[in-house]
Structure 1
Amino acid sequence: MDLYEKRVVLITGCSGGGIGHALARAFAAKNCLVVATARSLASMSDFQDDPRFFLQELDVSSGESVRHALSTTLEKLGRIDIVVNNAGVQCIGPLAEVPLPAIEHTFNTNLYGALRLIQAVVPHMASRKKGKIVNIGSVTVLAPVPWAGAYTASKAALHALTDTLSELWKPFTDGIVERGEIVLV
């Protein structure tokens, strides 16, 4: 099958053992070309020799890293059809005692990291008038737990951001931003 017949899916947070890694495998099994990203290529070493995967180092907390990964992907593959914002970090502890830098790191990854990628990829998708962005939230937003206040707050903010962007772009696109169920296309 030719590259232009396959959907190009960029997924953040594809380190081994996590949701992103499993999603990368599932999209590849559906005959998609997967741009698997993580802060370290070594964490995705089992994808290395598989032609269904294009591996990229990507730290979503860095605007420069986001721009580099997108430009490299677009240069090599020509387009991005689907983005899955999956990268995330936990922040464990009683909210009143967690050091503020740890909470800032959680928001910088879980919320601002997704927004960095959204802002970087939307011009490409808008110019093509097609594309999907899926933001991975958390059930803890519906049932908060005492030791995950910063994580839950960052995911609740991501849900609100996703809903807002979805409404904003609805008149111009075919649902470019979604949250909720992952449907492998």
Structure 2
Amino acid sequence: MEFQDNKPVVLITGCSKGGIGHALALEFASRRCHVVATSRSKKTMKDLENDSRFFLHELDVVSDESVKNCVENVIEKFGRIDILVNNAGVQCVGPLAELPLSAVEETFNTNVYGALRMIQAVVPHMAARKKGKIVNTGSISVAIPTPWASVYAATKSTIHAFTDTLRYACLPRNYCC
């Protein structure tokens, strides 16, 4: 274990430059957190690589192996994960009746199952510590869906439902959400 201070360790998925995850990484770092910024390619986070506030890690949330590797590396380096921010996501734009099923599946695999993979990977660790937070990035598209964003809205609606049920499951056990 490399770090043994009290700064929160924040793992954020989907930190490519220009996105919400990248902005969150910068904000958490400004608040003196250890930030694990992830994306499918470190190249998309190049501007963060020479900043000691960040630990950059490649992570593909659609891969069980990649998720397992990332979580294990973070726990090995920092000894814990205090906050998980599930932010990785992809769009799927077009009229629902015309979208290729493969595009719909890819969107659900990233936006829904990717977040669930991360949740399942960190919750045992958080439960053992009886401490941790999980933040899932939602979308206003759940409340105001548009005709060409039906799949994206459906994935974010699922994330909202997952978050609510996870909160109820974790509260009695005194950890996460």
Instruction: Give 1:99-138 correspondences, 5 Å limit.
Output: 99-138=100-139
Residue in 2 aligned with 1:171?
Answer: 172
Deviation at 1:3, TM superposition (A): 4.6
Instruction: Give 1:11-90 correspondences, 5 Å limit.
Output: 11-90=12-91
Hey, what's the Cα distance between the residues in 1 that align with 2:77 and 2:165? 32
Q: Could you tell me which amino acid in structure 1 is paired with residue 160 of structure 2? A: H
Deviation at 1:143, TM superposition (A): 0.4
SS where residue 96 of structure 1 aligns? Answer: helix
Hey, what's the Cα distance between the residues in 1 that align with 2:130 and 2:5? 16
Considering only aligned residues, what root-mean-square deviation do their CA atoms show, in Å? 0.9
Hey, what's the Cα distance between the residues in 2 that align with 1:169 and 1:76? 26
Hey, what's the Cα distance between the residues in 1 that align with 2:73 and 2:113? 21
Residue in 1 aligned with 2:153?
Answer: 152
Hey, what's the Cα distance between the residues in 1 that align with 2:170 and 2:127? 10
Hey, what's the Cα distance between the residues in 2 that align with 1:118 and 1:153? 19
Q: 1:52-108: CA deviations, max 9, x gaps?
A: 000000000111000000111111111110000000000000001000000000000
Mind listing any 5+ residue stretches in structure 1 that lack a counterpart? 178-185
Normalised TM-score (structure 1): 0.93
Residue in 2 aligned with 1:98?
Answer: 99
Residue identity (%):
62
Moved over 4 A (4+): none
SS where residue 169 of structure 2 aligns? Answer: helix
Q: Which has the higher helix share?
A: 2
Mind listing any 5+ residue stretches in structure 2 that lack a counterpart? none
SS where residue 62 of structure 2 aligns? Answer: coil
Residue in 2 aligned with 1:141?
Answer: 142
SS where residue 171 of structure 1 aligns? Answer: helix
SS where residue 97 of structure 2 aligns? Answer: coil
Hey, what's the Cα distance between the residues in 1 that align with 2:4 and 2:42? 23
Deviation at 1:162, TM superposition (A): 1.0
Q: Could you tell me which amino acid in structure 2 is paired with residue 128 of structure 1? A: R
Residues 4 and 79 of structure 2 are in contact (CA less than 8 Å); yes or no, is this contact kept in structure 1?
no
Q: 1:18-65: CA deviations, max 9, x gaps?
A: 000000000000000100000000000111011100000000011100
Normalised TM-score (structure 2): 0.97
Q: Could you tell me which amino acid in structure 1 is paired with residue 103 of structure 2? A: A
